[in-house]
A and B are shown apart, each in its own frame.
Chain A
Amino acid sequence: KQEVTQIPAALSVPEGENLVLNCSFTDSAIYNLQWFRQDPGKGLTSLLLIQSSQREQTSGRLNASLDKSSGRSTLYIAASQPGDSATYLCAVGAAGNKLTFGGGTRVLVKP
């Protein structure tokens, strides 16, 4: 059974600092890996999807890497802003695009 872990559960940084969010998974036979953002009381917003054959994916200030062999993905957010405060969720995709989620990292960016 796939297990996905995100450590730390919470993170606080000053504005302007780069954010590094970690995700680890136990089974390397994945289809893809997706990063989401969730604001309090809201749904999930897809940030990036990395296919299993890719090593990284970039969108604006966001960059996500994938190392299947070690079961790890990292989401980098450059030059953090208070608007980046949210919970970030990592999810690993399997056949049928079924996702297994990590517990999330709650991020606070202080002005």
Chain B
Amino acid sequence: DAGITQSPRHKVTETGTPVTLRCHQTENHRYMYWYRQDPGHGLRLIHYSYGVKDTDKGEVSDGYSVSRSKTEDFLLTLESATSSQTSVYFCAISGTGRKDEQFFGPGTRLTVL
């Protein structure tokens, strides 16, 4: 299995509080991604990173920010959590080529009350 960990694995928070999710990889892959998975919407890309300090928006980036100060870590921050951000969040990694598979972490279940 690809070396990807996510923390925390579960979190319950209240509306309006800031939340940071961490993704850590041991594979030295250049690309890292954050997705959310919701019933009826499937998996959707939030933000991705193509290198240290290089990030870009995905399909559903509003309300989220990211940072990548080291190759191995990719942080997702909800500046002021809302109930619509209750979801399961997955981190993924990949190499840079067309033959590079994307590997996923175990996920973080976030509930915003």
Contacts and interface: CB of A to CB of B under 8 A. Distances in A.
A30 to B, nearest CB: 9
A101 B96 CA distance: 19
Interface string A6-37: 00000000000000000000000001101010
A46 B101 contact: yes
A32 B98 contact: yes
Interface residues of B, number: 25
Contacts of B103: 46
A87 to B, nearest CB: 10
B70 interface: no
Contacts of B105: 43
Contacts of A97: 31, 94-96, 100, 102
A49 interface: yes
Contacts of B44: 101
A-side binding surface: helix, strand, loop or mixed? Answer: strand
B45 A44 contact: no
A61 interface: no
Contact of B102 (A42, A46, A51, A102): A46
A108 interface: no
A99 interface: yes
Contact of A89 (B43, B50, B56, B94): B43
A96 interface: yes
22 contacts: A31-B98, A32-B99, A36-B104, A43-B90, A43-B104, A43-B107, A46-B103, A49-B99, A49-B100, A49-B101, A51-B99, A53-B98, A89-B43, A91-B102, A93-B102, A96-B31, A96-B48, A97-B102, A98-B33, A99-B45, A99-B92, A101-B43
Interface of B: 31, 33, 42-45, 48, 50, 56, 58, 90, 92, 94-96, 98-107
Q: 4 tightest CB-CB pairs across the interface, nearest first?
A: A44-B104, A101-B43, A43-B106, A49-B101
